[in-house]
């Protein structure tokens, strides 16, 4: 499942998964919002997306990962809109016959997401704000 949502990502909603009997590994990755970046105190973040393209790119990444690491399950959920500190902005769920493939797949998916998926975050500080990914504010 691939989803981009304005709703809060609640981990509990995804914990009661039916485990694939062919899987020996089920891994959850949560990207969470940090209260500081580059020495600045972050109050909250806002994410924006070009949704149609982001879904298409996540689908490409997902198909590649499922095929390369023979995954039994892959879900990618990204939140957009305002996200407060210590909330989940990204949830990835991967299961595979052996753990190594799950770990490799998650690292690949997060790296690719940060390279090619059109989602942008803006950090809000006590004294202003900045788009991340610019030369002044690297991702």
Residue 77 touches other proteins, criterion: CB under 8 A: no
Cβ contacts of 23 within 8 Å, gap of 6 or more: 72, 73, 95, 96, 97
DSSP 1: -
Site string for other proteins, 34-73 (x = CB under 8 A): -------------xxxx-xxx-xx----------------
Min CB(114)–other proteins separation in Å: 5
Rule CB under 8 A: is residue 119 a binding residue for other proteins?
yes
Which ranges of the chain does DSSP label H, i.e. alpha helix?
Answer: 12-15, 51-69, 99-116
- Rounded to the nearest 5°, which phi and psi values hold at 115? -100, -45
44 in Cβ contact with 124 (< 8 Å): yes
Answer yes or no whether residue 116 interacts with other proteins by CB under 8 A. Answer: yes
Closest to other proteins by CB, 105 or 113: 113
- Residue 96 in contact with residue 103, Cβ under 8 Å? no
The answer to the question of residue 134 lying near other proteins (CB under 8 A) is yes
Query: Counting contacts by CB under 8 A, is residue 113 touching other proteins?
Result: yes
Which residues contact other proteins by CB under 8 A? 31, 47-50, 52-54, 56-57, 78, 89-90, 110, 113-122, 131-135, 139
């Amino acid at each position: 499942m691939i989803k981009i949502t304005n709703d809060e990502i609640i981990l509990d909603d995804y914990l009661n998964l039916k485990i694939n009997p062919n899987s020996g590994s089920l891994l959850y990755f949560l990207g969470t919002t940090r209260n500081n970046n580059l020495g600045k105190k972050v109050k909250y973040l806002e994410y924006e997306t070009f949704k149609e393209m982001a879904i298409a790119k996540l689908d490409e990444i997902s198909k590649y990962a499922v095929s390369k690491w023979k995954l039994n399950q892959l879900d990618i959920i990204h939140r957009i809109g305002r996200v407060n500190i210590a909330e989940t902005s990204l949830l990835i769920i991967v299961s595979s016959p052996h753990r190594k493939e799950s770990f490799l797949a998650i690292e690949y998916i997060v790296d690719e997401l940060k390279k090619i998926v059109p989602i942008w975050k803006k950090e809000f500080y006590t004294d202003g704000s900045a788009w991340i990914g610019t030369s002044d504010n690297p991702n």
